[in-house]
């Protein structure tokens, strides 16, 4: 196999000096990910210095290291680890002929990125590269670029932000041929004056579009016109997706058929695609429309893309469902523990509302972070979707949830450990429980405990 990087290529890309000749098959800045053959990138952060983990990386089988100080073992020495990683990402982007997609949005970006990976993998098997996990920030994006093989046909990169200006820098690194905004919602409101300001910040993704690039926008969003005006400054073509009349990629029919949802989607005026979704919820219909719009913009095989979308299952922390043995029968966990904002909370509660089963519908809802001055009102406003979902009983986790507790009378606990104690005492065979909250609330630990340890 052709190595991903040689030490000579790394040195040339970063302006560094190689201590010895070596080749690497992957790149990581987390020594725990090393399984053999990786380039380990040591970066200095505010809390940790990656150089402290170089020895561990070599013990685990790293092929070499990218460092800014002397270390034992084959390495390329540079002035600064993060700057060098960004340079390696630029070099990876420059050497490939792959068609590149940039994905952002207040909600749905990781799900759309993963669904795009599956869709495009059906079109170009073993030649589709995508960022992993939620590696979507100033370190994750260049890492994901640096991991892209030169011979890739497609590259899909998630880009996130919580301040204006961040996407502008990331998209110029990625230089996408197609850029999509999945949705605009009140996330990170602590750092923005309004949803319009969030839309403006998300619209920065279009600034990095390659000549001839395509912008893909959600027609159903109240901020569509604002996004369209921004996209028009940079894109040669704008495509819309949605359920509303006039969308370039639009839903024409949907029906629940057993455990799947059958969709028919119109592409322009002359083409139609049929596909099935394994994931429940109206937000997944929007995700599917978004993926087909991107595939259409790329000129990919839409039937094959539809087959790929149909393979999509729930992601850990983002909709994965688990059936667990419990005294007297089984229970179902809906794992939405990775993140939370008002829009994604409503979407998850809608999934709980539609869940089939004879037992109760429980919800453990953790605090939503970074909502700013409107946070108390936004938490309290969850009372309506909770009632619509028929969730009972409900447990709230974190001090930010106090306004909702006062409005609904639902019990409030301080942390995930207390939430697990409550759930183990409350849960009965046949129940379905939704677990959702911002990642910092650590409700994922509850999911792990129950899925790995059971009762």
Q: Please tell me the class of the 96-310 domain.
A: alpha beta
Q: How many CA atoms lie within 13 A of 121 on its CB side?
A: 14
**pLDDT for 134:** 80
Could you tell me the two tokens for 387? Answer: 């009632």
Binding residues for ATP: 105-111
The CATH T-level fold of domain 320-453 is 3.90.190
Residue positions counted in the chain: 455
User: Consecutive 10-residue runs of the chain (455 residues): their mean pLDDT?
Assistant: 95 98 97 96 91 97 97 97 97 98 94 96 97 90 97 97 94 98 86 92 98 98 97 98 94 89 93 93 94 98 96 86 92 93 92 90 95 92 96 96 96 96 95 95 94 72
* Whether 198 contacts 150, CB under 8 Å: no
* Whether 44 contacts 139, CB under 8 Å: no
**pLDDT for 83:** 97
**pLDDT for 279:** 87
**pLDDT for 454:** 57
Binding residues: 105-111
Distances (CA, A) of 272 to 117, 185, 252, 254, 289: 21, 30, 9, 13, 12
**308: Cβ contacts below 8 Å, ≥ 6 apart:** 115, 118, 119, 120, 121, 122, 123
Computed on alpha carbons and rounded to an integer, the radius of gyration of the chain in Å comes to 23
Sign of the C-alpha dihedral computed for residues 84, 32, 101 and 370 taken in this order? negative
The ranges assigned to domains in the chain are: 5-81, 96-310, 320-453
**pLDDT for 186:** 84
| CA–CA dist 408, 402 (Å, integer) | 10
CATH 3.40.1390.10 fits 5-81, yes or no: yes
* Whether 301 contacts 292, CB under 8 Å: no
């Amino acid at each position: 196999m052709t190595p991903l990087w040689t030490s000579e290529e790394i040195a040339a890309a970063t302006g560094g000096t190689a201590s010895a000749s070596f080749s690497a098959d992957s790149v990581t800045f987390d020594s725990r990910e090393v399984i053999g053959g990786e380039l380990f990138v040591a970066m200095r952060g505010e809390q940790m210095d990656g150089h402290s983990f170089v020895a561990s990386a070599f013990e685990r089988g790293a092929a070499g290291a990218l460092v800014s100080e002397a270390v034992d073992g084959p390495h390329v020495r540079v002035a600064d680890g993060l700057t060098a990683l960004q340079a390696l990402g630029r070099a990876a982007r420059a050497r490939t002929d792959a068609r590149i997609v940039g994905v952002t949005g207040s909600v749905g970006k990781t799900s759309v990125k993963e669904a795009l990976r599956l869709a495009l993998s059906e079109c170009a098997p073993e030649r589709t590269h995508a960022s992993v996990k939620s590696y979507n920030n100033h370190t994750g994006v260049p890492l994901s670029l640096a991991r892209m093989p030169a011979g890739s046909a497609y590259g899909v990169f998630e880009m996130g932000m919580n301040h204006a200006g961040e996407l502008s820098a990331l998209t110029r690194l990625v230089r996408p041929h197609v850029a999509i905004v999945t949705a605009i919602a009140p996330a990170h409101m602590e750092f923005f004056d309004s949803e319009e300001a969030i839309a403006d910040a998300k619209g920065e993704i279009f600034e990095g579009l390659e000549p001839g690039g395509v912008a893909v926008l959600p027609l159903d969003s109240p901020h569509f016109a604002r996004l369209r005006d921004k996209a028009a400054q940079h894109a040669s073509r704008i495509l819309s997706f949605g359920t509303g009349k006039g969308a370039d990629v639009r839903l024409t029919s949907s029906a629940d058929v057993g455990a799947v949802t059958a969709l028919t989607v119109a592409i322009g005026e002359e083409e139609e695609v049929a596909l099935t979704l394994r994931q429940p919820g109206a937000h997944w219909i929007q995700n599917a429309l978004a993926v087909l719009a991107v595939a259409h913009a790329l000129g990919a095989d839409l039937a094959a893309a539809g087959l790929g979308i149909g393979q999509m299952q729930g992601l850990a922390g983002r909709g994965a469902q688990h059936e667990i043995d419990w005294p007297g029968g089984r229970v179902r966990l809906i794992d939405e523990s990775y993140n939370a904002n008002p829009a994604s909370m409503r979407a998850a509660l809608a999934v709980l509302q539609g869940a089939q089963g004879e037992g109760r519908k429980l919800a453990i809802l953790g605090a939503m972070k970074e909502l700013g001055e409107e946070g108390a009102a936004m938490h309290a406003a969850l009372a309506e979707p909770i009632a619509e979902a028929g969730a009972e009983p409900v447990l709230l986790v974190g001090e930010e949830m106090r306004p909702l507790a006062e409005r609904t009378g639902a019990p409030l606990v301080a942390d995930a450990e207390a939430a697990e104690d409550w759930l183990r005492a409350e849960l009965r065979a046949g129940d379905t429980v939704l677990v959702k909250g911002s990642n910092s609330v650590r409700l994922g630990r509850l999911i792990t405990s129950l899925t790995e340890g059971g009762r």
